[in-house]
Chains A and B, each alone.
Chain A
Amino acid sequence: MTRLTRKYEFVDEAAADAAIALLPTDDEGNASHGHLVTKLGYLVIEPAVNGEDGEEITAAVLSEVYAVDVYWGGESVDVDLWAAFIVWPTPMGIHSFGSSSSRDEYASTYCGLFPDSLYCNPVDPEPLNEI
């Protein structure tokens, strides 16, 4: 069964933790679901500029939203718990779960949602009949 890779954004880490807390736990408080939650944090929009010896010249510019990727396991009903926070970066964004089938599923779903996107309508830089 192909597991679903989905991507989410929250206003901050506390909001992400609140969403994570909605996922099933056992009576010890340990996660009892089969999902893999990976906190990506505030993504780098512009990387820092460093000098020759590594000293920071310009600080990195970070995203203002907190990113989380989830690799949903068998209990796909839990996907709905996070629906309000889902985002769809161009496949696969900057992080993946190392699964070829999940990568293909994400790309297919993305193109179903955004059929007119450039990603789903790539322009051949070299036309078929170019001489």
Chain B
Amino acid sequence: MSYFDDASLAFLPSGAAGKDGKAYSIKPTDGTGDFTFSRGSNLAATRVGPGPDYFIEKGRENLLTYSNDFSNSDWNKINGLSVIGQTATDPFGVANNAWSLNFDGTVNGRIEKKGLSVAVNGVYNYSVYLRVATGTQVASIGHSSWGLTAVTITTQWQRFEGFKVAATNTAYIRVRCDDAAIIEVFGYQFESGLVATEYIESGATKGTAGILENTPRFDYSNGASCPSLLLEPSRTNLVPSEYFGAGYTLSGAAIINNNTTSPEGLQNATKIYPTASGNYKHIRYGSLNPSTGVHTFSIFAKAGELDHLVLIDYDGGGVGVDFNLSTGVANDSASVAFDFVDMVDYGNGWYRCVATATNLRFYWILSDNGGVSVTANGTDGLYIYAAQAEANAYPTSYIPNHSGGTITRAVDVISKDLTSVINNNQMTMFLDVKSLEAISTVIAADNFGDLRWYHQAGNRFRFYKIDDADWVTNSFVVNDGDKIALTLTDTQAKLFVNGSQVGTTFALTTSFQNFTNLSYNVGSSKNELNQLLIFRTALSDADCITLTT
């Protein structure tokens, strides 16, 4: 038989088909099989994009309205600045799309965006394309009370940028010139983060791109050629920023911002190097020292001249986990303190270094060979990017944060009214899924005798029928990728996992009825869903064994 042909609903994330609020099924093709997707977080969610780069992708927004309409009244024209018109060819060759601005030589002549609300201590980048017709011209961009960025404009289009930690809650972004000059301007962008990202045009509302609030995350982690649908629980990143210059303490170490390409594919990774030889030359984040309860800490790191980054337990005698950035092997010499240790390869020499611990006072130590000592020469170091601390026993995907506070990514949930693809009281549900331990409800299917799929302690899955209070299957331990088939008839339930029936056939007290809505990940666990099929009938044992093999 062809299982695809026989399925009444087929959801395969390998097609990476979805949009904001929707995850498309490939069968039926008329849209009646599509899932509603919800999360509600755009700025706190990421995915690993497709190869060959496998870059981390974020949600992005240009906080400036009318980002390329400098005639709009949202832009104040001050001290002799006037707009000649949209008369210049932009950096991408589009005629009459860049603006010519005339500065008459009045000091502090400027075009300035009306005040924008920002988060104090948040990290913001401003960027704009500038050009002059002849010669060179000195000007400045950014917001004055945070410190303007001086630029030298030439006859070639250049995208100038700068980043600041917001010292006030309102930003007045501008181009300023104190001389008489005509300057061509295109595409001002103001966004969270250390570096400018690809320009996003905006109009009356802010421009957005990348991961939107309800964008399903088709994820290509671990070099996958086909994506899975990433469904994660809500998590909070307690680290306030990707900027290691604020909120951190550097002891015997220094940093250089935006020094190399990060796993995001942008020049926003930081070099850290020891400034003096000796023991415990480190960086630590003050407000999480010590952390209370179980936390998982992670940081992306890449070897430079140094290739050992050590996470130590300050209260545990100064021993810790040695993350060898050349071999990709983590050596845990503090097995009592660390419950979970991992190094995940993100390509191009980058590893996500992960450790879980309880009540940890943690330092990231620079190391020569995995111990606590390092030799300094004033330049040699390694690279770091995007630290995360989350209050749980395992890591989730990176939660970007530039707010200066903490940020929570909401849970990913897909849901679907299955009335049209189910045959009243019988069906087969097939799942190809990788799941991490998280005690929760994975599937809630209402009005079908209220079927529940619970993820229980010990990484066990089990199906339950609420109205009869029956466990309708045995439990089984979830491994690193499982194929699961649940069959239901009027009288019985059967479970097959990875080519074998689990437990015995269960005689139902009453049959399931009137299946209406299925919600997946409703209880907030971490799943990578590779395939979901629904059949109108209970498949035979042989078919289920074949299907799950």
Query: Do A and B share a complex?
Result: yes
Instruction: Enumerate chain A interface residues (CB-CB to B < 8 A).
Output: 3, 26-28, 30-31, 34, 36, 38, 40, 44, 47-48, 50, 52-54, 69, 71, 73, 90-102, 107, 119, 122, 124-126, 128-131
Q: Shortest distance in angstroms between B456's beta carbon and chain A's nearest beta carbon?
A: 12
A97 to B284 Cα, complex, angstroms: 25
Known: A53-B280, A54-B361. A97 touches B406 (CB 8 A): no
| Chain A, residue nearest B249 (CB) | A50
| Majority-rule SS of B interface residues | loop
Say whether B42 contacts A97, CB under 8 Å.
no
In the complex, whether B145 has a CB less than 8 A from a CB of chain A is yes
Instruction: Enumerate chain B interface residues (CB-CB to A < 8 A).
Output: 38, 40-45, 59, 61, 76, 78-79, 106-108, 115, 117, 119, 144-145, 168-170, 172, 206, 208, 213, 234, 236, 249, 251, 280, 284, 286-287, 289, 314, 361, 363, 399, 403-411, 441, 452, 466, 523
What residues of B have a CB within 8 angstroms of the CB of A92 in the complex?
Answer: 119, 403, 405
Query: Beyond the given A54-B251, A94-B405, could you list 7 further A-B residue pairs with CB under 8 A, ordered by the A residue number?
Result: A36-B408, A44-B287, A48-B289, A54-B363, A71-B408, A71-B410, A99-B44
Known: A92-B119, A98-B45. A126 touches B286 (CB 8 A): no
A63 to B530 Cα, complex, angstroms: 45
Say whether B169 contacts A99, CB under 8 Å.
no
A to B CB contacts below 8 Å, 19 in the list: A47-B286, A52-B251, A53-B251, A53-B280, A54-B284, A54-B363, A91-B117, A92-B119, A93-B405, A95-B405, A97-B409, A98-B407, A98-B409, A99-B41, A100-B43, A101-B213, A124-B172, A126-B145, A131-B106
Q: Shortest distance in angstroms between A74's beta carbon and chain B's nearest beta carbon?
A: 9
Contact of A99 among B43, B76, B119 (CB under 8 A): B43
What residues of B have a CB within 8 angstroms of the CB of A124 in the complex?
Answer: 115, 170, 172
Contact of A122 among B76, B169, B410 (CB under 8 A): B169
Contact of A38 among B42, B236, B452 (CB under 8 A): B236
Say whether A98 contacts B41, CB under 8 Å.
yes
What residues of B have a CB within 8 angstroms of the CB of A97 in the complex?
Answer: 40-41, 44, 407-410
What residues of B have a CB within 8 angstroms of the CB of A71 in the complex?
Answer: 40, 408, 410
A92 to B402 Cα, complex, angstroms: 13
Contact of A50 among B59, B145, B289 (CB under 8 A): B289
A30 to B286 Cα, complex, angstroms: 36
Counting residue pairs across A and B whose Cβ atoms lie within 8 Å, the total is: 121
A119 to B169 Cα, complex, angstroms: 7
What residues of A have a CB within 8 angstroms of the CB of B361 in the complex?
Answer: 54
Q: Shortest distance in angstroms between A85's beta carbon and chain B's nearest beta carbon?
A: 19
Say whether A126 contacts B119, CB under 8 Å.
no
Q: Shortest distance in angstroms between B35's beta carbon and chain A's nearest beta carbon?
A: 16
| Chain A, residue nearest B44 (CB) | A98
What residues of A have a CB within 8 angstroms of the CB of B42 in the complex?
Answer: 98-100
Q: Shortest distance in angstroms between B507's beta carbon and chain A's nearest beta carbon?
A: 22
| Majority-rule SS of A interface residues | loop
What residues of A have a CB within 8 angstroms of the CB of B78 in the complex?
Answer: 128-129
Say whether A96 contacts B170, CB under 8 Å.
no
Say whether A100 contacts B314, CB under 8 Å.
no
Q: Shortest distance in angstroms between B57's beta carbon and chain A's nearest beta carbon?
A: 15
What residues of B have a CB within 8 angstroms of the CB of A40 in the complex?
Answer: 406
A92 to B201 Cα, complex, angstroms: 26
* 7 nearest A-B pairs in the assembled complex, by CB-CB distance: A98-B44, A122-B170, A94-B405, A98-B41, A98-B43, A125-B145, A95-B406
A96 to B289 Cα, complex, angstroms: 22
What residues of B have a CB within 8 angstroms of the CB of A125 in the complex?
Answer: 144-145, 168
A126 to B40 Cα, complex, angstroms: 37
Known: A28-B466, A98-B43. A131 touches B108 (CB 8 A): yes
A22 to B257 Cα, complex, angstroms: 47
Q: Shortest distance in angstroms between B467's beta carbon and chain A's nearest beta carbon?
A: 9
Say whether B119 contacts A38, CB under 8 Å.
no
A44 to B240 Cα, complex, angstroms: 14
What residues of A have a CB within 8 angstroms of the CB of B406 in the complex?
Answer: 40, 94-96
What residues of A have a CB within 8 angstroms of the CB of B43 in the complex?
Answer: 98-100
A50 to B361 Cα, complex, angstroms: 12
